[in-house]
Amino acid sequence: MVRTLIGGLLGGIAMFFVGFLFWGTPLSLIAFGRTDDATAQALQAALAQHLGPLGTATYPIPNSSTVIGTELYGKGPVAIVHFTNAGFAAMDTTALIGGLVLGVICAMLVAWAVRMFAANGSFIDRFKLVALIGLAVTAYTDIGQPVFNHAPWSYYIYLWISDLASWVAAGAVIGWFVPRTVPTA
């Protein structure tokens, strides 16, 4: 039980560090398009003017639930805007702490599942199980965005690679720490 908890904790920490490598360093610039400062200021002012009064939310633009919105959707351009009214630091410490806690919780759940259902396998078996679960879940959730929502492929491919790498790292740690149990006769 203790090794499972340690594996989950360290697996979550491994996920956090791999995620930081992808998103907390200049490597993250691969995922984003760029605008110049004047364009960014103009877009920020337009967002504040038009979405600010509506509040923090995710907005499909245009809204395809109306007749006019459906026509506009067909003409393009379209966007899904994740809008936050308040500003925050680019490297927000509370988000980093929250991400670490989330990673540890997720890795703990997977470590517990590995202990319950795959502890009799070898390290490689336990590692492959976590890696395959990570592959399936991240492919559906991350690659699903461009498939279902016509979101930009480049961003979501990068996100998928970063999420999969995080789960592979967690899988190696969890696979190592979850103890192999000896089946009873």
* pTM, two decimal places: 0.85
Burial of 182 from C-beta contacts in 10 A (0-12 / 13-18 / 19+)? exposed
**Confidence at 119, pLDDT banded by 50, 70, 90:** confident
Shared domain check, 160 and 122: yes
Shared domain check, 85 and 104: no
Shared domain check, 67 and 143: no
Note whether residue 181 is domain-resident: yes
181, 125 Cβ separation under 8 angstroms: no
**All residues at 6 or more sequence positions from 22 whose CB lies less than 8 Å from its CB, including other chains:** 28, 158, 161, 162, 165
Structural domain for 41, as ranges: 34-89
Whether the bond between 179 and the residue before it is cis, its omega within 30 degrees of 0, is no
25, 168 Cβ separation under 8 angstroms: no
Q: How many domains does the chain have?
A: 2
Q: Write the pLDDT tens digit of every residue in 4-40.
A: 999 999 999 999 999 999 999 999 999 999 999 999 9
Note whether residue 146 is domain-resident: yes
How many Cβ atoms are within 10 Å of 134's Cβ, its own excluded? 21
Shared domain check, 18 and 108: yes
Note whether residue 29 is domain-resident: no
Note whether residue 161 is domain-resident: yes
Strand 57-61 to strand 79-83: parallel, antiparallel, or no bridges (unpaired)?
antiparallel
Residue-level pLDDT at 185: 53
Note whether residue 78 is domain-resident: yes
Shared domain check, 55 and 15: no
User: What is the distance, to the nearest Å, from the Cα of residue 177 to the centroid of all Cα atoms in its chain?
Assistant: 24
**Pair of tokens at residue 146:** 């461009």
Shared domain check, 72 and 40: yes
| 184: DSSP letter | P
Instruction: Give the residue among 9, 180, 182, 15 at the shortest CA–CA distance from 109.
Output: 9
Shared domain check, 167 and 101: yes
Shared domain check, 177 and 114: yes
Q: Write the pLDDT tens digit of every residue in 48-59.
A: 999 999 999 999
107, 15 Cβ separation under 8 angstroms: yes
Q: Write the pLDDT tens digit of every residue in 76-111.
A: 999 999 999 988 887 788 888 999 999 999 999 999
Whether the bond between 77 and the residue before it is cis, its omega within 30 degrees of 0, is yes
Shared domain check, 130 and 165: yes
Shared domain check, 184 and 135: yes
Shared domain check, 61 and 111: no
Note whether residue 5 is domain-resident: yes
Tokens 């991400």 belong to 99
Instruction: Give the residue among 73, 172, 57 at the shortest CA–CA distance from 124.
Output: 172
Shared domain check, 105 and 20: yes
Note whether residue 97 is domain-resident: yes
Residue-level pLDDT at 183: 53
Note whether residue 138 is domain-resident: yes
